Amino acid sequence: MKYRKLGNSGAVVSEFALGTMTFGSEADEDTSFALMDDYFAAGGNFLDTADVYSAGVSEEIIGRWLKARPTEARQAVVATKGRFPMGQGPNDLGLSRRHLDDALNASLKRLDVERIDLYQMHAWDALTPIEETLRFLDDAVSAGKIGYYGFSNYIGWQISKAVYTAKMLGYSAPVTLQPHYNLLVRDIEHEIVPACEDAKMGLLPWSPLGGGWLTGKYKRDTQPTGATRLGENPNRGSEAYGPRNSDERVWKIIEAVQAVADGHGVSPAQVALAWLNQRPAMTSVILGARKREQLADNMAAADLALSVDDIKTLDEVSAPKQPGYPYGENGVNQRHRKIEGGR
């Protein structure tokens, strides 16, 4: 396992993080403990959760594990999130000082820690002034309640606005962004990744295996059944079977991933994770596992070295569709890059 700086901070985290959204729902407490044990035994040190995961139960399970594993707890870097409702009241959501103060204190209690290493805003809040949110986060850093903060699911202009507002006001700067990113979903490369690179923020991608699509478990024209996420709910969000089954690009990517995996004698999941792990601005790829065998296979991606040809093949087959002006090949931004590159 290799380690990287947590975005633009001085903290160090493993190149693969353990996502804990399944804790308390798809993975019971014993399984969750076993997953964390295996992950730390393999050299991992970065746990990612959120207050809304299993309505707070995920945080509680992590808190009990940290209490029972003092050696690992000293090495653990713990990240959680706040923004979405944890109650029925009108102030029980959003990025206001009122809600974030309640949410942060509740997360600290559930995790049973004095400080959260990385506190992430789970999504943009158009109703709360960005200055209010940033002031709260800066105060939380100063009070020792959080070490750093970051964002999740923000788009390019939101990132840049937050970064430069914090800079203008002299507040602590964000260090990371947690976006949806994988071989099937690469549109963040148009503006979001450049915004993060400009701010020297690190990426923490969620759903790196595309909801299981990049593991090879789903077959063309065969609706999934059984104990898989799409088997239980084939219409699940952006990963719904129908739309992706009818998208030829999806199957070309899956076939390319399988071919590269066959060439290395590894699983398709390891190929997809290794590809994502070498993308620009990457800090740590978030692994989400329901079973120990899944985690073991995913962690093995740390030992997989893709060749230049492998990466070229995967880059080309998964290239995001080029949008129109001003982003496309003939857009203003592209022409300026060509001019600058020729100087």
Q: Do residues 215 and 289 make contact, with C-beta atoms less than 8 angstroms apart?
A: no
Task: Give pLDDT, residue 326.
Answer: 80
pLDDT per residue as tens, the chain (343 positions): 999 999 999 999 999 999 999 999 999 999 999 999 999 999 999 999 999 999 999 999 999 999 999 999 999 999 999 999 999 999 999 999 999 999 999 999 999 999 999 999 999 999 999 999 999 999 999 999 999 999 999 999 999 999 999 999 999 999 999 999 999 999 999 999 999 999 999 999 999 999 999 999 888 888 877 666 676 677 777 788 888 888 999 999 999 999 999 999 999 999 999 999 999 999 999 999 899 999 999 999 999 999 999 999 999 999 998 887 887 665 555 544 444 554 4
- 251 domain residue, yes or no: no
212-237 burial string, b = 16+ CB within 10 Å, else e?
Answer: bbbbbbbeeeeebeeebbbbeebeee
Query: Which 8-state DSSP code applies to residue 325?
Result: T
241 as an active site residue: the answer is no
Greatest Cα-to-Cα distance within the chain, rounded to the nearest angstrom: 60
- Tell me the C-alpha distance between 291 and 309, whole Å: 32
What one-letter code names the amino acid at 310? D
- 317 domain residue, yes or no: no
Domain count, the chain: 1
Q: Which tokens hold the place of 28?
A: 């019971």
Query: Which 8-state DSSP code applies to residue 258?
Result: H
CATH number, domain containing residue 270: 3.20.20.100
DSSP 72-125: HHHH-EEEEEE-S-SSSSTTSSSSSHHHHHHHHHHHHHHHT-S-EEEEEE-S--
- 44 domain residue, yes or no: yes
Task: Give pLDDT, residue 335.
Answer: 45
- List, for residues 2-16, the tens digit of each pLDDT value: 999 999 999 999 999
- 258 domain residue, yes or no: no
Domain of residue 104 covers: 3-245+264-304
Task: Give pLDDT, residue 332.
Answer: 53
Q: Do residues 314 and 260 make contact, with C-beta atoms less than 8 angstroms apart?
A: yes
- 296 domain residue, yes or no: yes
Distances in Å between the Cα of 269 and the Cα atoms of 1, 70, 191, 201, 283 are: 17, 32, 27, 26, 19
**Nearest Cα to Cα of residue 184 among 80, 116, 255, 88:** 255
- 322 domain residue, yes or no: no
- 163 domain residue, yes or no: yes
- 145 domain residue, yes or no: yes
pTM (two decimals): 0.93
Q: Which listed residue (53, 154, 181, 241) is catalytic?
A: 53
